[in-house]
Amino acid sequence: MRKRSTLILIAFLVAVTSLSARQKRSPSTPEERAKAVQFAHDLENNPLGPQAKSEREWLLRWVMDVPDITVAFCPQILGTELSDKQPYGTEIRTQLLFSQAAFLIENPDKTKDDLAIQAAGVNGSLRVYGLILKDHPNARSKTLDEIIARRDKGTLQGYLLEAVERCKKSTSP
């Protein structure tokens, strides 16, 4: 229960901070969007590289601040066992957000396609997870392994449909 309360508090603080920042700044520039896409893909391919920390920090701040790129972030889509306290949990969970933002920038015609947006995020997180496991097998997650198995069996879309609905219900008033 304490983890859930902490997550709710963090989500609330991010929303308030984000709303305040979004009201103060202008829409993202083409250069910023290109940089965001580059950083998101860099992190998908090298999540623990020398620039990963600074790229992750820039992306997080940028996604929270820009008023024209809105991502429905639902980390529970990766399972409830994956937390920031788990080895590399932060890297895997934040990639969900970054890959979704990159997808929205690269596919402006898909801004209403929740399933495609979530799929892009999950697939980015799974890429990061796979790369991290190569060097850090202690980062294994039963839930992420199950999601990979679904992807490999071709049943990921069904999982995502259910997960997107759960996320919508948990964020609706």
Distance CA 95, CA 20 (A): 24
pLDDT at 14: 56
Residue among 157, 19, 170, 16 at smallest CA distance from 80:
170
Angstrom distances, CA of residue 134 to CA of 42, 48, 98, 156? 17, 12, 21, 23
List the chain pLDDT tens, one digit each, 173 residues: 444 444 444 555 555 454 444 567 899 999 999 999 999 999 999 999 999 999 999 999 999 999 999 988 888 888 876 666 778 988 999 999 999 999 999 999 999 998 999 999 999 999 999 999 999 998 898 999 999 999 999 999 998 888 888 877 776 55
For tokens 């709303």, the residue is 19
Per-residue model confidence (pLDDT) at position 23: 60
> What's residue 7's pLDDT?
46
Q: Residue 11: its pLDDT value, please?
A: 54
Cα atoms in the 13 Å half-sphere on the side-chain side of 104: 24
What's residue 13's pLDDT?
53
Residue-range domain boundaries for the chain? 2-171
- CB under 8 Å to 125, separation ≥6 — which residues? 78, 92, 93, 95, 96, 99, 144
Q: What is the structure's pLDDT at 54?
A: 96
Q: What share of the chain is helix, strand, coil (3-state, %, to 5)?
A: 75, 0, 25
Supply the pTM of this predicted model: 0.83
